[in-house]
A and B are shown apart, each in its own frame.
Chain A
């Protein structure tokens, strides 16, 4: 009885179509906003007040499979998109032309752009981080195709998040085995990054997101990381010391009062640091809304500042973006495709303003957001979205993340039957 139930569960997990969460990225000066849903990349130019038309030699659709990572460079000149189609596309944000296409051997799970805009790094599903030299790409000259070189590697572990430290000295990679590796980013990265500065060890589940708190007292920034163990932790990256832990899921009231939490149900999906007030926005699976954490840089602690919920919508954000120029937090929820129902890829964008320690955050209505209805139409695909799809989408994203990042538990009962195909077992028979 137990055996067939366990078997059925393993079977149904495998049958689930891999869905990808919707992603959002905001230009540092808020001149444009990009949303990626499945293979679709949608960009809205806020200065022009219209959708940006992307130009690429290969023509639309630019990506043949789900996009897994999008990012603007910190200087705002470059934009990178990469995903399951094993390509990394580098775009110039002024002309929205694809200046470079890099092909990867494996599916890409994370991207990062160096602070000086000269290198683009991406991580694949096997744990290798690659680097591409893109110096000179902002001169609107198409670089054609570039070959990536391996930079560093986590052994056989998906890297969901890649970040550069604010001073550009370090590159951080977080993996599925709960490790965060801080490596010195060399002057000639094409020869590989071999000097490990430290390991930030402390999470008990996969580390899903990394972000830096910028502080004047600490030029290299304090690292904040979110993980599948439902905690957000604060680190000093040069020594790897864990400074503080915040149990966000518990504090946001997601766990049952008797302490029994749904296993693996409350992973932190995304983190975003806001410049002013040192507030960190945290998105958690199953939480409809956001948790705002405040970071005390001198005391080196994290504490829950507010829990923000979106009135009237079952909005579980899948990705967050912050624009320092305007001080607005952008959120998106959505999924590439829902397996059971025949919903098209869905995405919904919301904006929160007044992210400050003193003020109350305000969730902007559809007409109040920069870009207004036109932006929503471009980024969402339509101005209004069917709300009943939200919860199904959130569940699909949760299951997909669990299958990807949580280690499989094989039931002990049918161990012998699983070994049937092994060569030495076959000969024994």
Chain B
């Protein structure tokens, strides 16, 4: 069939990217060697690339403002977009392994920034394997919240090593997280703002929330 017009990946009416051009498989192999750029250390992470209005030039990393929220496996960015307006002073980032989906989130954020001047400047996305490279992006006790929404359970024994939440990876997440506990307005958003949560609600399913507490290091309990 001859194509008479170029398919617009960004919708003309809303200015937002159209999901159908950014569809990707649900799974991307987290075990494979990846060749996307990874910052050598958290100090090398270029904030001006992700938050251009807040950090106009790349030498202005004065260390006063750091990323505090991280959405691991952000997918199409639903949670990040809702969190951005709820916490306008907090810097947040989404991490996603699939490149097409990351492109979608990037386009979405850019279009939202254009359509709503001054808003959505505190949110960004990066394509990375968070299971391997979290220490490269965040310093010790930098984050206040980490989101792992709808992690794949990987029921089969042979796939247990692909789980995002595992005893070993929890050590790394504990390292980048600050030790704090508070009642949170975010909890409601977990099931309503994400695409996955909306899908579950559409199909009339149930969502479950689990709460865990950090074990205090033994030499500090006295």
Contact = CB atoms under 8 A, between A and B. Distances in A.
Q: Do A and B come from one complex?
A: yes
Determine chain B's interface SS by DSSP, over half rule.
helix
B217 A408 contact: no
Interface residues of B, number: 27
Contacts of B167: 192
Contacts of B35: 407, 409
Interface stretch (B6-14, B85-93, B118-126, B128-136): B128-136
A202 B31 contact: no
Chain A interface size band reads: 20 to 34
Contacts, number: 61
B104 to A, nearest CB: 20
Contacts of A204: 40
A242 B175 CA distance: 19
Given A201-B40, A201-B136, A202-B40, A155 B171 contact: no
Contact of B168 (A128, A199, A203): A128
Contact of B131 (A128, A150, A155, A178): A155
Q: Which of A155, A192, A195, A202 has the most CB of B within 10 A?
A: A155
Nearest to A157: B132
Nearest to B172: A196
Nearest to B166: A153
Given A155-B132, A156-B31, A177-B133, A195 B217 contact: yes
Interface string A390-423: 0000000000000000011100000000000000
Interface string A196-221: 10110111100000000000000000
A424 B25 contact: yes
Nearest to A186: B218
A201 B131 CA distance: 16
14 contacts: A126-B161, A152-B171, A155-B30, A155-B169, A156-B31, A156-B132, A181-B135, A196-B140, A196-B171, A196-B172, A196-B175, A202-B41, A409-B35, A424-B25
Given A177-B132, A193-B171, 6 more contacts: A152-B171, A153-B169, A155-B132, A198-B140, A202-B40, A407-B33
Interface of A: 126, 128, 150, 152-153, 155-157, 177-179, 181, 183-184, 186-187, 192-196, 198-199, 201-204, 240, 242, 407-409, 424
Interface of B: 25, 30-31, 33-35, 40-42, 131-133, 135-136, 140, 161, 167-172, 174-175, 215, 217-218
